[in-house]
Amino acid sequence: MDLVFLGSIIELGVLALCFGAFLGFAAKKFHVEVDPRVEQIDEILPGANCGACGFPGCAGFAQAVVDGDAPVNGCIPGGDSVTEAIASILGKSAEVSTPMIAALKCRGGKERAHDAFVYEGVENCISAALIMDGPKACPNACIGLGSCIEACAFDAISMDDNDLPVIDREKCTGCGACVVICPKDVLEMMPADSDVWIACNNVYSGKLVKSVCETGCIGCRLCVRECPKDAITFENNLAHIDYEKCTNCQICVVVCPTGTIHTKRTGEILNDAPKIRAAIEKKKAREKEKREKLKAQNPNVK
């Protein structure tokens, strides 16, 4: 064998041995101990990497919760079962949170919300909103190009024939990714066990609302006056529901003249409407009787 060739083989062998020894030393010297609880937590997480926890993916959240930088109940899509499992691994008490889902604060769409101009461009809401604040005459209306669908990691959103997003309550995990991505703020989080919500996002007065949308809140305040639990307030030309007070009685849905207040019990509410209206009339009769008695006792009372 050629001595030069043999020498080259020996030199390569020595170099390989040196590099191997160096890599072995470096691996031992700079080895970072991984807490086994991180892997255990990562395995029970949904794996959607939706970012709802505020950390870069499920692995990032698992490390953060072990380090004490994230709460035990920080995985919103995982719900109570994941929270309890994480608490068990860490030896902590489970902090159960109220399940939330996304709700659409708009019922306009292409059929009821008027367009200010015809948009021709990149088919996503963020791009459309950059041009004159979007094509809708209502500055707070849903643009309807489906950026929320792309943001949803759980396939819980689809578009209906009116170009409005539809939230699948069974699939929605309450991660809030759709709320963050929407440039018009027409999506909000609401308790999963609530039946009603204000399906409008306008800040216009009633007259202006009518000029741009057929189903927007016109500020009549009937819902505020008729709510038996004082669960509805009115601020900035829009009604707001206090979900801690709301009992899902549906009275507000029935009295709203523009259909702004939406319900997941659409079919049921139509059947219940006569009963609800009767309850409203009964309430008004009681109030009238009370006023008349008070006036009889004191004629100066108006």
How many Å from the N-terminal Cα to the C-terminal Cα in the chain?
121
> What pLDDT, on a 0 to 100 scale, did the predictor assign at position 118?
93
Does the model's pTM come out above 0.85?
A: no
> What pLDDT, on a 0 to 100 scale, did the predictor assign at position 246?
94
pLDDT at position 32 over 60 = no
Q: How many percent of the chain have pLDDT more than 90?
A: 47
Measured distance CA(60)–CA(51) in Å, rounded = 9
Pairing of strands 100-104, 187-191: antiparallel
pLDDT at position 18 over 90 = no
Where in the chain are the domains?
Answer: 36-90, 98-193, 202-302
Among the CATH numbers 3.30.870.10, 3.90.740.10, 3.40.50.2300, 3.30.70.20, which is that of 98-193? 3.30.70.20
Tell me the pLDDT tens digit for each residue of 207-241. Answer: 899 999 999 999 999 999 989 899 999 999 999 99
Instruction: Please count the CA atoms within 13 angstroms of the CA of 42 that sit on its side-chain side.
Output: 17
Q: pLDDT confidence of 300, banded at 50, 70, 90?
A: low
Q: How many helices (H) and strands (E) does the chain have?
A: 12, 8
Identify the bridge partners of residue 241 per DSSP, sorted by sequence position. Answer: 232
Tell me the pLDDT tens digit for each residue of 167-183. Answer: 998 999 999 999 999 99
Mean pLDDT of 60-75: 90
Q: pLDDT confidence of 8, banded at 50, 70, 90?
A: low
Say which residues have a Cβ less than 8 Å from residue 204's Cβ, sequence separation at least 6.
138, 212, 216, 237
Mean pLDDT of 261-279: 67
pLDDT at position 267 over 60 = no
With beta carbons less than 8 A apart as the criterion, state whether 208 and 138 touch: no
Q: Which CATH architecture has domain 36-90?
A: Orthogonal Bundle (1.10)
Tell me the pLDDT tens digit for each residue of 76-89. Answer: 888 888 999 999 99
DSSP label of 114: P
Mean pLDDT of 200-211: 89
- Which segment of 92-106, 155-169, 242-256 scores lowest on mean pLDDT? 92-106
Mean pLDDT of 194-198: 93
Which CATH number describes the domain made up of 202-302? 3.30.70.20
SS3 track for 23-69: HHHHHHHCCCCCCHHHHHHHHHCCCCCCCCCCCCHHHHHHHHHHHCC
The helix or strand, by DSSP H or E, that contains position 229, with its residue range, turns out to be: none
Mean pLDDT of 247-256: 88
Say which residues have a Cβ less than 8 Å from residue 86's Cβ, sequence separation at least 6.
41, 44, 65, 72, 75, 94
**SS3 for 99?**
coil
Q: 98-193 and 202-302: same fold?
A: yes
pLDDT at position 102 over 90 = yes
Identify the residue with better confidence: 96 or 123: 123
